[in-house]
Amino acid sequence: MDCSKNNGISLGFSKRSDNPEILKGARKFERIVIIIMLVLTAIPISVCAVLENGKYLIIGAILSSIFLFALVFRECKRLIQKPFEGIVTDKYVKEKYYTSKNENFISRTRKIIYYLRIKTNDGKELIRKLDNDRFYNYLNIGDKVRFHPKLNGYYEKYDKSHDEYLICPSCLGENSPKNDRCTHCNVPILK
């Protein structure tokens, strides 16, 4: 991968982070995530309620409660997050295995969890667990970053001048550095 080519984006954090269109796009994206999670929460209890005259209702209720708790926990965490700036000092993954038993077989599911270690400008060492590999792949060790909680936990690079792609602050889709707006959701790109 040739990362040496300058894409013409000047150094510095974007002045667009308070752009109302970007904030509106990020809120809309978050609402969609919440709706999907609420639907997933309702599925176990609804299915178990009709299955064999409600024999498994308690299991469904427990599963739905776990999903609901995860949703509430996610939203609380999101609301208390504060913006910061710092340097990425490390990035790594951890593997987790989940075992589920059935009458006939045992299945093992592997989940990869992505982490960033960031030293903030005020000297704190932060370990940030990521929802997926999007920012794990985008950021490199040594990158100066700004964290935007209002943009659904967006990590913006100070130096985007050698990026082969930029991440949309609303839908997190990949875009060419030449784009002024996201090709997926049409929200302005943070540059």
Site residues, Zn ion (CB under 5 A) = 168, 170-171, 173, 182, 184-185
CA separation for the pair 151, 185 (Å, rounded): 14
Nearer to Zn ion, 149 or 173 (CB): 173
Write the burial class of residue 162 (CB in 10 Å: 0-12 exposed, 13-18 middle, 19+ buried).
middle
Nearer to Zn ion, 118 or 168 (CB): 168
Which helix (H) or strand (E) element contains residue 90? Answer: strand 84-101
CA separation for the pair 29, 19 (Å, rounded): 16
Nearer to Zn ion, 103 or 180 (CB): 180
With beta carbons less than 8 A apart as the criterion, state whether 159 and 138 touch. Answer: no
CB of 182 to Zn ion, least distance (A): 3
CA separation for the pair 138, 64 (Å, rounded): 34
Nearer to Zn ion, 32 or 112 (CB): 32
**DSSP 3-state of 72:** helix
CB of 170 to Zn ion, least distance (A): 5
For residue 5, the 8-state DSSP code is: S
CB of 151 to Zn ion, least distance (A): 11
CB of 183 to Zn ion, least distance (A): 8
Closest by CA to 30, choosing from 74, 69, 67, is 74
CB of 77 to Zn ion, least distance (A): 23
Nearer to Zn ion, 151 or 182 (CB): 182
